[in-house]
Amino acid sequence: GRARLGSSEPQARHGRSEEEEEEEVEEEGGCYQLYPGHIPTSPLQKALLAAGSACMALYDPYRHDMVAVLGETTGCLALPNLRDKMKNHPEGYRILQERPRIRLSTLDMGRLRGLPDGTLGREYVRFLEDNKVSPDTRMPPKFVDDEELAYVIQRYREVHDLMHTLLGMPTNMLGEVVVKWFEAVQTGLPMCVLGAAFGPVRLSTRKLQVLATELVPWAIRSGRNASCILNIYYEQRWEQPVESLREEIGIFPPP
Amino acid sequence: AVAGLCPCRAVFARRGGALRALCGSLRGLAAGPETHFGFQTVTEEERREKIYQVFESVAKKYDVMNDSMTLGIHRVWKDILVHKMNPSPGTLLLDVAGGTGDIAFRFINYVRSARERQLQRKLRHHQNLSWQEISESYQEDKSKSLGDSQVVVCDINKEMLKVGKQKAQHLGYSEGLSWVLGNAEELPFDDDMFDVYTIAFGIRNVTRIDLALQEAYRVLKPGGRFLCLEFSHVNNPLLSRLYDLYSFQVIPVLGEVIAGDWKSYQYLVESIRRFPPQEELKAMIEDAGFFKVDYQNLNSGIVAIHSGFKL
């Protein structure tokens, strides 16, 4: 038997010909890139990655790449679920077909900045500038073994900043935890659930109190009430006022 | 032997259409002979560049990763290398691909304690001297705590050298230590300069091993010793399977979690499999002109120390 592995063969030893190597890879099956940046992994590797990234993310909350990896390796149930929700919704279906990306290169920042206050576009740009973040810092998926699901998780990551805007939450630890609670209810991604549960351990008691009494209940209620956030074609709604979009989705006004 | 011409097929690019096309055109323009980068086929120039990038990327986490991957055992391997070298005070060592300084620091510690023992022995012989004469002899010897031993750390990668220098400063190593940017295939040193040449976990990353061995021969003094510490071939079938499993399943994951870099550590485990086994490396060392070439397996061949002499 061979040692099973993710992306390449261990048995190609010391100058064996390329043909033999290729044959071995053929037999192994599923060991090739499905999309740029894809790293095929075995179930054992995914399990180790999930455990390792969870520990590392707790140990060093600034390792955003670890949070991303955790999401990818544990999302095998939630992601198909989300994809199906998108497929069954007209706007979501269009998003899956057209695959829009939210990136500085695709956004017309000048135009968005020029929109009236209170519109999604204007408030989104304000959020980016106030918190000094950029949509380009989102990690591309590596360990998702399905090209469409890779897009779904990518879309979820890129929409995250819009969630901050719609929920009115800043990018500090408290704000992130609140958004995680909302996303946990909305997407069911284990990474969101873990983040929501363990994120608060690093907060002060005062903040924890506010979190527990006001913010989290509101986030949960909104999450439950709202329709799937991935089913909104945000790029076509920059002119829509935030209030109106909130009502449409079903997000209650922030406390 | 290592850089043999292989049919042009990059394992990773087989399915990705665009990637395949790119590699195809790259190969078309390929200016040099073909060689391997892990399990991919690349030109020699591409390989040098990719390896440079790997070490540039891993430099800051190099030591942490070594400890994690080998559970600290790499320290024992390096200790064994320096003990085998058994340097006496006054030895001039060239540590090639010495990057973060592990061998150099061990060398300094070794000659320092050897020097202390030397001084203690000297002192015992001086017990008939007066107090004054004894304290005067202290002044002389103090300035030579290493007894004129020196180590030159040579590495091709600026980032690795940078990390090494910072480590030296942090740990308090300064005397008898020099850092030089250089290529193992073309060393910036004169002939017949060094007493010992070491290359620990570096020769695997050299593109033309034969050239590196020739250079090693050139810069060593007659009577000088060549020592190479490197991952090698495991004969024991059970251990080999466990080792493969660990290498391919665990190490890239460790790379991703600790260093945020899966690909570099995937390259690492592949490059180990691509490296010549013990006997083949021994033959290559003999080809470069070394005599009394021998090797010692550590941990059943996971690692081997090859030794040779320039006569």
- pLDDT tens-digit map of B45-94: 999 999 999 999 889 989 999 999 899 999 999 999 999 999 998 999 99
- The secondary structure of B63-95 as a DSSP string is HHHHHHHHTTHHHHHHHHHHHHH-PPTT-EEEE
Q: Does the predicted interface ipTM exceed a cut of 0.95?
A: no
Domain coverage including residue A84 = 43-249
Residue B150 is inside which H or E element, if any? strand B150-155
Distance CA A20, CA A151 (A): 34
Q: Where are the domains of chain B?
A: 45-310
Q: Do B256 and A18 touch (CB under 8 A)?
A: no
Picking from B104, B303, B299, B298, the residue whose alpha carbon sits closest to that of residue B203 is B303
In a domain, A30, yes or no: no
Q: What is the CA radius of gyration of chain B?
A: 22
The pTM (predicted TM-score) of the whole model is 0.77
Picking from B191, B204, B187, B116, the residue whose alpha carbon sits closest to that of residue B153 is B187
Picking from B271, B274, B286, the residue whose alpha carbon sits closest to that of residue B2 is B274
Picking from A72, A99, A79, A118, the residue whose alpha carbon sits closest to that of residue A238 is A118
- Condensed to tens digits (0 to 9), the pLDDT of residues A153-190 reads 999 998 888 888 888 888 888 888 889 899 999 898 99
- A199-223: buried (b, 16+ CB within 10 Å) or exposed (e) per residue? bbeebeeebeeebeeebbebbeebb
In a domain, A17, yes or no: no
Return the pLDDT at A166: 87
Of all residues in chain A, the one with the smallest CA distance to B276 is: A14
- The CA distance from A168 to the nearest CA of chain B, in Å, is 31
Task: Judge contact between B301 and B235, C-beta under 8 A.
Answer: yes
As a CATH number, domain B45-310 is 3.40.50.150
A15 interaction partners in chain B (CB closer than 8 Å): 1-2, 4, 274, 276
| Confidence band of B8 (pLDDT split at 50, 70, 90) | very low
Span B22-26, average pLDDT: 52
Picking from B311, B204, B259, the residue whose alpha carbon sits closest to that of residue A52 is B259
| Structural domains of chain A, count | 1
In a domain, A220, yes or no: yes
In a domain, A96, yes or no: yes
**Residue B115 pLDDT more than 60?**
yes
A19 interaction partners in chain B (CB closer than 8 Å): 7
**Residue A200 pLDDT more than 90?**
no
In a domain, A179, yes or no: yes
Proportion of chain A above pLDDT 90, given as a percent: 26
In a domain, A114, yes or no: yes
- The CA distance from A107 to the nearest CA of chain B, in Å, is 26
Range in A4-8, A59-63, B135-139 the model is least confident about: A4-8
- The CA distance from B258 to the nearest CA of chain A, in Å, is 8
Return the pLDDT at A47: 94
Q: Is B141 on the interface with A (CB under 8 A)?
A: no
Neighbours of B241 (CB within 10 A): 15
Q: Is A139 on the interface with B (CB under 8 A)?
A: no
**Residue A12 pLDDT more than 50?**
no
Phi, psi dihedrals of residue B189, rounded to the nearest 5°: -125, 160
A83 vs B19, higher pLDDT: A83
Return the pLDDT at B139: 67
| Confidence band of A23 (pLDDT split at 50, 70, 90) | very low
